[in-house]
């Protein structure tokens, strides 16, 4: 029996751009009954047509503006280079479209605020898309923290790094497009730190290594909080792939890989998605064994898109406001870290 991809009430999404990440998003969202990718746009009409054909998308547009004017689209997914997020999120909001925007949302706190202000003015929702946020594993981790499984959180250590196989010509190496390890990789551990700590740090101290193009190729930092808590993180574009966080509380610890996309298959599934580790130690002694916890698995793109569809359907502007506060805190922290790395001294974070 043939099944349909979606229901008539599915959120109708248009993809703004045809980058590789857009292809992965379209592929992973395709089986959903709650979200439907109905259109795609490129600045090259042939590219848009080819993308649409590859992913069985009904409509394609040869300009971004045409997608924003498409009356059959409810929301826009933005996978553009970091430097273009603010412009096109604001233009989408002005066109009356909800916006699911790839991370990092913005290049700084002022830019992030302007994006959320535009969404509020036009009565639409804007959400920063960290796929791991919407993983069931992340929900399970937050539930453990809320129930006091490790007591009061005192510190977080988080890292994410990978190796650019062909850095020449890669947009991550272009400072004009918002490249660099901090924005591209560092936004992930920083977002997890914000998720766990619940607020922005008061002060940061960062150290970076620089590529010839002028972007940071790696960066490490300490984040200091007003109540005496601390967090440390590092990010890199010149190392083997690694992604891990450790949360230390007064009564235990949690360790996680916080992967974007997960699979229950030990050797990986057809898309290369792997299991993501979540370990819990309930106790303060090193002799207390860790519990290995299992969560539901799947594509973070699909989880994110379906969660976005749900908040739109509920008109959950309060939930979006909480997410917006976190995104602004992350943007302000990134801004302070970039300044600290350049100046070689601690910088206060201008959040709130």
Domain 133-298+329-348 of CATH type 3.30.360.10:
yes
Residue-level pLDDT at 168? 85
Average pLDDT for the chain: 96
Residues of the chain with CATH 3.30.360.10: 133-298+329-348
Residue-level pLDDT at 351? 85
Average pLDDT over residues 246-255: 98
Residue-level pLDDT at 341? 98
Both structure tokens of 87: 């412009």
Average pLDDT over residues 150-174: 94
The three-state secondary structure class of 127 is: strand
Q: What is the largest CA-CA distance in the chain?
A: 64
pLDDT band at 169 (very low <50, low <70, confident <90, very high): confident
Say if pTM beats, i.e. exceeds, 0.75: yes
Does residue 320 have a pLDDT over 90? Answer: yes
Nearest to 108 by CA among 262, 340, 328: 328
Q: What are phi and psi of 139, to 5 degrees?
A: -60, -40
Does residue 257 have a pLDDT over 90? Answer: yes
pLDDT band at 3 (very low <50, low <70, confident <90, very high): very low
CB 257 within 8 A of CB 276: yes
Residues of the chain with CATH 3.40.50.720: 11-132+305-316
Number of other residues whose CB lies within 10 A of the CB of residue 260: 21
Active site (annotated) includes residue 103 = yes
Which CATH number fits the domain 11-132+305-316, given the four candidates 3.40.50.720, 3.30.360.10, 3.90.230.10, 3.40.50.620? 3.40.50.720
Percent of the chain at pLDDT > 90 equals 95
Q: What is the pLDDT of residues 211-231, one digit of tens each?
A: 999 999 999 999 999 999 999
How many whole angstroms separate alpha carbon 93 and alpha carbon 320?
A: 14
Among the residues of the chain, which ranges form H helices? 20-29, 45-54, 64-68, 85-94, 109-121, 136-146, 181, 187-197, 300-314, 317-343
Average pLDDT over residues 31-46: 97
Residue-level pLDDT at 5? 40
Q: What share of the chain is helix, strand, coil (3-state, %, to 5)?
A: 35, 25, 35
Which position has the higher pLDDT, 11 or 167?
11
Average pLDDT over residues 246-260: 98
Number of other residues whose CB lies within 10 A of the CB of residue 68: 21
pLDDT band at 2 (very low <50, low <70, confident <90, very high): very low
Does residue 345 have a pLDDT over 80? Answer: yes
Does residue 85 have a pLDDT over 60? Answer: yes
Q: What are phi and psi of 312, to 5 degrees?
A: -65, -45
pLDDT band at 236 (very low <50, low <70, confident <90, very high): very high
Residue-level pLDDT at 182? 98
Q: What is the pLDDT of residues 105-146, one digit of tens each?
A: 999 999 999 999 999 999 999 999 999 999 999 999 999 999
pLDDT band at 1 (very low <50, low <70, confident <90, very high): very low
- State the sign of the Cα–Cα–Cα–Cα dihedral 29, 33, 34, 39: positive
Q: What is the pLDDT of residues 52-67, one digit of tens each?
A: 999 999 999 999 999 9
58 half-sphere exposure, CB direction, 13 A CA radius: 10
Q: What is the pLDDT of residues 193-209, one digit of tens each?
A: 999 999 999 999 999 99
Catalytic member of 34, 103, 166, 342 = 103
Average pLDDT over residues 263-281: 95
């Amino acid at each position: 029996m043939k099944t349909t991809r979606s229901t008539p009430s599915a959120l109708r999404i248009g993809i703004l751009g045809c980058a590789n990440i857009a292809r992965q998003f379209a592929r992973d969202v395709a089986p959903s009954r709650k979200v439907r990718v109905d259109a795609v746009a490129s600045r090259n009409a042939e590219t848009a047509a080819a993308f649409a054909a590859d992913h069985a998308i009904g409509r394609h547009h040869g300009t971004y503006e045409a997608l924003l004017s498409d009356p059959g689209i409810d929301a826009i997914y933005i996978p553009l280079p970091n430097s273009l997020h603010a412009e096109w999120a604001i233009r989408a909001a002005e066109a009356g479209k909800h916006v699911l925007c790839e991370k990092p949302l913005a290049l700084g706190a002022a830019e992030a605020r302007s994006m959320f202000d535009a969404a509020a003015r036009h009565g639409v929702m804007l959400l920063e898309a960290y796929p791991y946020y919407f993983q069931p594993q992340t929900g399970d981790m937050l539930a453990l923290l809320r129930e006091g499984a490790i007591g009061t959180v005192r510190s977080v250590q988080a890292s994410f790094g990978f190796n650019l196989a062909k850095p020449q010509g890669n947009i991550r190496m272009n400072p004009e497009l918002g490249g660099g390890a901090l924005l591209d990789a560092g936004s992930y551990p920083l977002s997890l730190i914000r998720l766990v700590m619940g607020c922005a740090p008061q002060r940061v101290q960062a150290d970076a290594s620089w590529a010839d193009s002028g972007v940071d190729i790696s960066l490490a930092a300490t984040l200091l909080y007003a109540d005496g808590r601390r967090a440390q993180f590092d990010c890199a574009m010149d190392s083997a792939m690694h992604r891990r966080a450790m949360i230390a509380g007064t009564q235990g610890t949690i360790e996680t890989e916080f992967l974007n996309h997960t699979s229950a298959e030990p050797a990986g599934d057809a898309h290369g998605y792997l299991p993501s580790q979540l370990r819990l130690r309930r106790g303060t002694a090193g002799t207390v064994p860790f519990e290995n916890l299992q969560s539901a698995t799947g594509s973070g793109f699909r989880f994110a898109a379906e969660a976005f569809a749900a908040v739109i359907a509920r008109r959950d502007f309060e939930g979006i406001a909480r997410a917006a506060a976190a995104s602004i805190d992350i943007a302000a922290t990134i801004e302070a870290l970039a300044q600290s790395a350049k100046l070689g001294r601690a910088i206060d974070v201008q959040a709130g």
